[in-house]
Amino acid sequence: MEREWLNYAQAGELLGVGRSTVIRLVNAGALPVTYVSPRRPKILRADVEAYLERKRIVKTPESNEAKDASG
């Protein structure tokens, strides 16, 4: 399986955010980065997709019931 590497702009496009937001996510440790050279950071597409999956909010009937019961 071949790894697909993205630059910050490409990762931002996939995430639906700007390049500066991707840099903030990398600095916060939310997205792992690999430097292929001192000035060429790359992010694995699989890591971006995993981040998106972690951030996805899924509404379920159980979560609505808990919200209704609490207030």
Of 4, 8, 59, 5, whose CA–CA distance to 36 is shortest? 5
pLDDT at 59: 46
Contact 48, 13 (CB under 8 A): no
The answer regarding whether domain 5-70 maps to CATH 1.10.1660 reads: yes
pLDDT at 70: 47
Report residue 3 as tokens: 């790894």
Convert the pLDDT of each residue in 8-67 to its tens digit.
999 999 999 999 999 999 999 999 999 989 999 999 999 999 999 988 854 455 555 545
Query: At residue 69, does pLDDT exceed 60?
Result: no
pLDDT at 56: 82
Radius of gyration of the CA atoms of the chain, in A: 16
Query: At residue 5, does pLDDT exceed 70?
Result: yes
